[in-house]
Amino acid sequence: MKTSKDNTRKPASGRKGTAAGRRLLAAMRDVTAFLEGDESAGRIVYPKPPRIDVAAVRAKTGLSQNEFAKRFMLAPGTLRNWEQGIREPEGASRLLLAVIDRAPDVVGRVAEELRNTRL
């Protein structure tokens, strides 16, 4: 392999390399630019919160599906879909369920206050 002006290696045959190789090189350039202070380089990926067993969270509270949905301001159909595995809670919903799992009384009090607040 030969080295070019910008210190990148190129195949001796003049080929441009594979698509995966080009993507890897582009990613390395983004990393270098980001580390040098260019925040527009690359992209930030936020990890998904881990999956949550919605039925187990609800069971811990001792509430029925309708009671749980009402207490925590969730649509009963959405809760059923989560529990039956038809859909999965995403993002903020997963976070809310994780907080309910750890502190259901706190979330319940906040939900009650919100219901009683006139906007």
Whether 77 is covered by a domain: the verdict is: yes
Q: Are 97 and 74 in contact (CB under 8 A)?
A: no
Same domain for 21 and 60:
no
- Distance, C-alpha 21 to centroid of its chain: 28
Same domain for 31 and 74:
no
Its domain, for residue 31, covers 2-35
Reported as a single tens digit per residue, the pLDDT across 3-61 is 556 666 655 555 567 899 998 998 899 889 888 888 787 777 777 778 899 999 999 99
Reported as a single tens digit per residue, the pLDDT across 59-80 is 999 999 999 999 999 999 999 9
Q: Are 88 and 50 in contact (CB under 8 A)?
A: no
Whether 41 is covered by a domain: the verdict is: no
Same domain for 102 and 59:
yes
Whether 20 is covered by a domain: the verdict is: yes
Tokens standing for residue 19: 């698509």
Distance CA 109, CA 72 (A): 9
- The closest of 53, 100, 103, 48 to 74, measured between CA atoms, is 100
Whether 49 is covered by a domain: the verdict is: no
Tokens 């910008």 found at: 6
pTM value?
Answer: 0.62
Same domain for 110 and 60:
yes
Same domain for 71 and 31:
no
Tokens 């607040």 found at: 117
Whether 111 is covered by a domain: the verdict is: yes
